[in-house]
Chains A and B, each alone.
Chain A
Amino acid sequence: MTMLDVEIGNIKLRRLLALCRKESAQIVRDPSSILIAFVLPVILLLIFGFGINLDANTVRIGLVVEDTGAEARRFAQVLEGSRYFDVVHDSSRQHARTLLAAGEIRGMVVIASDFSAKVRQGKGAAAIQVLTDGAEPNTANFLGSYMEGAWQTWLGQRSIDAGQTPPPLAELSARYWFNPSTVSRNFLLPGSISVIMTIIGALLTSLVIAREWERGTMESLLATPVSRMELLLSKILPYYVLGIFAMALCVVMATLIIGVPYRGSLLALFVVGSLFLGSSLGLGLFLSTTMRNQLMAAQAALTAAFLPATMLSGYVFEISSMPWPVQLASYFIPARYFVSALQTLFQAGDIWPILAINAAFLLASSIFWLGLTVLKFGRRLDD
């Protein structure tokens, strides 16, 4: 009798270790597991990191100045000097419209030929016409704001030159709490990590049990003294380790290569990450156990885990802006809590009240899915 022969309940350490060893060998030697656990996250992280950029960047606009007057020129200069605009001069409104329709420019500004004259008249009839590409609402929104800014700058400059009080009487200045550079990457990337961990967790494990059924190895295992809990644990533990590695890889890449700041503690990250993995893996295993078919399990995992994680977790799309039934649905999605926790950890630090709530939900979710799997996992072929 050695330590390996210790039995807790019906879990014998020797058998558990043997199964874990087998699982690990399979993981290492199976290219698809390596692909999902290491290659895919790296690629996705790079794409999410550099590809999705919602920042206030330069917007390309067309500028049609039909007026040769000074006022018009001054406004044009304000636009050209602004860091928000990439100005493309155009001599014809028609042509600018075609460019707008084709998506080459995201907006156009027209200063009519009677602009300077009307301004000098001082009756307020002069107008700067701005057309935005409404097919890109987010950009159009930003463009509208930038234009307001440019217009105010122009008004301000004119007033100063003329020695008057600059209008607006009240001004709203912006100050950023967390993420002062408002690099959208900083708030998107933690969410991306959540999506990536969902893929890994749910996808990997959804294939695992189904694969044993399909290949017939499950039947041979069930004929040995192995117990249900040993089998399940041997499926969860190696993938948990794999998941933690993948998460560490993502965080390292995010901070060192992509340059997103991380302000929380590693302990908090480990705790929250583990709880989320518990949930993800549990879901994947549950699907694998019930479906016994690799393809079906994988599809179900993607639909049940990946889609909600991208759409309803709040990582790109603001949950509060969604209609209330959808908001209600989002409460059931583990990714939502992980995103919130990660965003706080990365950008704010260890703010325990938020972390505690999120952790609690994740714990509940893990217990739910893992518990369901234990119930559903039978010891016989007809279970």
Chain B
Amino acid sequence: MSPVANADPSPHGNDIAIVIADLQQQFGARPALCGIDGTVRRGCITGLVGPDGAGKTTLIRIIAGLLKPSSGTVQVEGLDPIVDSVKLHEIVGYMPQKFGLYEDLTVLENLRLYADLRNVTGTAREASFKRLLQFTDLARFTERLAGKLSGGMRQKLGLACTLLGTPKVLLLDEPSVGVDPISRRELWHMVSELAGAGMAVVWSTSYLDEAELCSDVLLMHAGKLEYAGVPRALMESMRGRSIQLRHIEGNQRHVLQRALRQPEVIDGVIQGAALRLVLRRAGERPDLAGLDAGASAQMVDVEPRFEDAFIDILGGGPGGDSVLAEHTREARLPAGVDPLAVISAKALTRRFGDFIATDHVEFSVKRGEIFGLLGPNGAGKSTIFKMMCGLLAPSEGTASVMGIDLKKSASRARRELGYMAQKFALYGNLTVAQNLDFFSGIYGLQGHAQRTMIQSMIKVFALTPFLSTQANELPLGFKQRLALSCSIMHQPPLLFLDEPTSGVDPITRREFWTHINGLVDKGVTVMVTTHFMDEAEYCDRIGLVYHGRIIASGTPDELKESARTSAAENVTMEEAFIRLVQRNDVAAQEAA
């Protein structure tokens, strides 16, 4: 683990807008912030980066004057947020995580409210509105109720309201969460422009790739500041330790497992057909032969990522061997079920009145495959997902799993699938033990078999210290583990995962996927939706959903390939996503 590098963040000392000194915050017995020191400059975006539970929101709320710190000081443009709160509110724009727009008010009414509250009147108001509406591309929607906007549009409106009154300091708490890559990029552009004009911006995020784009970064984990400085500096410290293993033959998941067992490797993830590995020490690579990746396999140096550094600070990623898989039996396919179409959708259509949410979608998933559904907000991913789980009936076409048509024998089909809902739908008031008891019970486990299964889940996911904790008191990582265990206790051959790792820190995310890979090894078929482009790389095949249709499908590498504009270009998954969607828009316009 490399020492915390606190590089001097800026050459212009008098450009500092916010100074944080030895900030501590306790909520009852729980320490939320442990001695944070940092500065935020004007004219650039400072990233407040870290996984869920790191303390980002607490810190931002203290800066905004909404919480009183237990000890330590904060100065915002020379003001104390608690004592000078009236003046502070006039110069600070704050967009909370759950930016509450008034859903019953139209876009324009929301803007007018905040304009009045921030004393933006007369011609200044007209000018601001025009600028902001153009900026956010919401000019066409001024009369639409805020509740009817899509996720991306809501975030933009939230940002617009926050920008009224031209604040000197802008605090954004996870503005890009749950927003698709295209909208995320647009938000970023908007905010960069503002920063360039002299605003001090704090952008909090759990997306580590966004951290790379910030001028300064405050990296937090479990209430502590792990790194403060220029992201590039941190990434540079990892130089020579990031490699990619290409041209793998055979099962790449198995190769990953083998790689992770090597002492030289501290972290590894799948990237399309390749593997990305992080080494313990620069230049010390594992023995290629030992990885058994085929004759043409190659190890190549690649540019280090911010995430690599973060994993390094945390002590490295988890191993590749899944204890869960050891406890899972082989997923058998009943007779008569086509192993190439364990999950299948044919001409799947769903209408809500006049609106066509899903338009003749076709795909099939093989046994032991991980199939991903990607797409911008409102594209129709969840509608398709719900139809494949039997939660929604198709208007036309068929959705079938294990050869059973979900319209006809839904109950029988549902026995074969495990479902992990978005935001981990657990019974918050029930303890971990009670949740496990419940979910195993309704899936038909009883008596000795039930007890044994619950015990093994507790062992596999290390839930013992939390058995009597209520589910909504659990840290996010454990909630996710509990949710996963509750969905697989009946040993389903099919697993449906709806945004399974949103907000979770990188280590827990890797652990999760190690388990999934282990299950897939035993023949379980997985269908997953995600916003997180890196996760898209873990899938065997992807369907890109847009406007209710699948506009592209194939392996992650195939999609990246099709988005390439020149032969030598290295396209990321995110870039491929954006380009394919834009291409589709252009094609649709031309056809019109």
C-alpha gap A219/B171 in the complex (Å):
13
Asked whether A136 is an interface residue with its Cβ less than 8 Å from the other chain, the reply is no
Which of B65-73, B191-199, B267-275 has 4 or more CB atoms under 8 Å from chain A? B65-73
Asked whether B113 is an interface residue with its Cβ less than 8 Å from the other chain, the reply is yes
C-alpha gap A216/B89 in the complex (Å):
18
C-alpha gap A225/B112 in the complex (Å):
15
How many residues of chain A get a CB closer than 8 Å to chain B's CBs? 31
Residues of B near A216 (CB, < 8 A) are: 96-100
Asked whether B92 is an interface residue with its Cβ less than 8 Å from the other chain, the reply is yes
Residues of A near B94 (CB, < 8 A) are: 220, 223
Report the minimum CB–CB distance from B66 to chain A (whole Å). Answer: 5
**Do the beta carbons of A221 and B117 come within 8 Å of each other?**
yes
C-alpha gap A255/B79 in the complex (Å):
61
**Do the beta carbons of A219 and B112 come within 8 Å of each other?**
no
The 10 closest A-B pairs by CB, nearest first: A217-B100, A18-B116, A216-B100, A216-B98, A223-B94, A29-B104, A224-B117, A225-B89, A219-B96, A381-B66
Contact pick for A22, options B86, B97, B99, B105, CB 8 Å: B105
C-alpha gap A217/B114 in the complex (Å):
12
**Do the beta carbons of B92 and A223 come within 8 Å of each other?**
yes
C-alpha gap A209/B67 in the complex (Å):
19
Residues of A near B65 (CB, < 8 A) are: 223, 380
Asked whether B90 is an interface residue with its Cβ less than 8 Å from the other chain, the reply is yes
Report the minimum CB–CB distance from A4 to chain B (whole Å). Answer: 8
Asked whether A226 is an interface residue with its Cβ less than 8 Å from the other chain, the reply is yes
Report the minimum CB–CB distance from B280 to chain A (whole Å). Answer: 43
C-alpha gap A25/B147 in the complex (Å):
14
**Closest chain B residue to A28, Cβ basis:** B104
**Do the beta carbons of A224 and B118 come within 8 Å of each other?**
yes
C-alpha gap A87/B577 in the complex (Å):
86
Per-position binary interface string of chain B over residues 80-113, scored 1 when its CB falls under 8 Å from any chain A CB and 0 otherwise: 0010011001101111111111111100010011
**Closest chain B residue to A381, Cβ basis:** B66
Residues of B near A224 (CB, < 8 A) are: 89, 114, 117-118
**Do the beta carbons of B66 and A219 come within 8 Å of each other?**
yes
**Do the beta carbons of B102 and A22 come within 8 Å of each other?**
yes
**Do the beta carbons of A14 and B116 come within 8 Å of each other?**
yes
Asked whether A382 is an interface residue with its Cβ less than 8 Å from the other chain, the reply is yes
Residues of B near A175 (CB, < 8 A) are: none
**Closest chain A residue to B115, Cβ basis:** A18
Interface positions of A (Cβ within 8 A of B)? 5, 10, 12, 14-15, 17-19, 21-22, 25-26, 29-30, 212, 215-226, 379-382
Known: A30-B104, A216-B99. A223 touches B109 (CB 8 A): no
Q: Contacts A215-B103, A225-B119 given; 20 further ones with Cβ under 8 A?
A: A18-B112, A19-B113, A25-B104, A215-B100, A216-B96, A216-B97, A216-B98, A216-B99, A216-B100, A220-B94, A223-B64, A223-B65, A223-B93, A223-B94, A379-B85, A380-B66, A380-B67, A380-B68, A380-B82, A381-B61
Report the minimum CB–CB distance from B87 to chain A (whole Å). Answer: 9
**Do the beta carbons of B119 and A14 come within 8 Å of each other?**
yes
Report the minimum CB–CB distance from A337 to chain B (whole Å). Answer: 36
**Do the beta carbons of A15 and B117 come within 8 Å of each other?**
yes
Query: What would be 14 A-B contacts, judged by CB atoms less than 8 Å apart?
Result: A14-B116, A14-B121, A22-B102, A22-B113, A25-B102, A29-B104, A212-B100, A215-B98, A215-B100, A216-B96, A216-B98, A220-B161, A224-B89, A226-B89
Residues of A near B96 (CB, < 8 A) are: 216, 219-220, 223
**Do the beta carbons of A225 and B86 come within 8 Å of each other?**
yes
Residues of A near B92 (CB, < 8 A) are: 223
Report the minimum CB–CB distance from A103 to chain B (whole Å). Answer: 44
Contact pick for B100, options A12, A218, A226, CB 8 Å: A218
**Closest chain A residue to B95, Cβ basis:** A220
**Do the beta carbons of A225 and B118 come within 8 Å of each other?**
yes
Report the minimum CB–CB distance from B144 to chain A (whole Å). Answer: 13
Report the minimum CB–CB distance from A204 to chain B (whole Å). Answer: 15
How many residues of chain B get a CB closer than 8 Å to chain A's CBs? 35
Docked complex: B111-160 residues within 8 A CB-CB of A: 112-114, 116-119, 121
C-alpha gap A220/B92 in the complex (Å):
12
Report the minimum CB–CB distance from B200 to chain A (whole Å). Answer: 16
Residues of B near A18 (CB, < 8 A) are: 112-113, 116-117
Residues of A near B95 (CB, < 8 A) are: 220
**Do the beta carbons of A26 and B104 come within 8 Å of each other?**
yes
**Do the beta carbons of A22 and B66 come within 8 Å of each other?**
no
C-alpha gap A283/B173 in the complex (Å):
34
C-alpha gap A26/B64 in the complex (Å):
27
Known: A26-B104, A216-B99, A220-B96. A225 touches B64 (CB 8 A): no
Residues of B near A21 (CB, < 8 A) are: 113
C-alpha gap A212/B101 in the complex (Å):
10
**Closest chain B residue to A225, Cβ basis:** B89
Known: A219-B66, A381-B66. A226 touches B117 (CB 8 A): yes
**Closest chain B residue to A223, Cβ basis:** B94
Known: A25-B104, A26-B104. A223 touches B89 (CB 8 A): yes
Per-position binary interface string of chain B over residues 510-554, scored 1 when its CB falls under 8 Å from any chain A CB and 0 otherwise: 000000000000000000000000000000000000000000000
Residues of A near B64 (CB, < 8 A) are: 223
**Do the beta carbons of A217 and B102 come within 8 Å of each other?**
yes
**Closest chain B residue to A224, Cβ basis:** B117
Known: A223-B66, A223-B92, A381-B67. A15 touches B116 (CB 8 A): yes
Report the minimum CB–CB distance from B429 to chain A (whole Å). Answer: 13
**Closest chain A residue to B114, Cβ basis:** A224
**Closest chain A residue to B147, Cβ basis:** A29
**Do the beta carbons of A219 and B100 come within 8 Å of each other?**
yes
C-alpha gap A217/B113 in the complex (Å):
12
Report the minimum CB–CB distance from B59 to chain A (whole Å). Answer: 13
Residues of A near B90 (CB, < 8 A) are: 225
C-alpha gap A257/B214 in the complex (Å):
69
Residues of B near A218 (CB, < 8 A) are: 100
C-alpha gap A139/B90 in the complex (Å):
69
Report the minimum CB–CB distance from B333 to chain A (whole Å). Answer: 46
C-alpha gap A26/B100 in the complex (Å):
14
Residues of B near A29 (CB, < 8 A) are: 104
C-alpha gap A85/B92 in the complex (Å):
78
**Do the beta carbons of A17 and B99 come within 8 Å of each other?**
no
**Closest chain A residue to B171, Cβ basis:** A223
Residues of A near B112 (CB, < 8 A) are: 18
**Closest chain B residue to A214, Cβ basis:** B100
Residues of A near B67 (CB, < 8 A) are: 380-382
Residues of B near A222 (CB, < 8 A) are: 66
C-alpha gap A10/B68 in the complex (Å):
22
C-alpha gap A43/B119 in the complex (Å):
44
Docked complex: B253-280 residues within 8 A CB-CB of A: none
**Do the beta carbons of A25 and B105 come within 8 Å of each other?**
yes
**Closest chain A residue to B116, Cβ basis:** A18
Docked complex: B327-353 residues within 8 A CB-CB of A: none
Residues of B near A22 (CB, < 8 A) are: 102, 105, 109, 113
Residues of B near A15 (CB, < 8 A) are: 116-117, 119
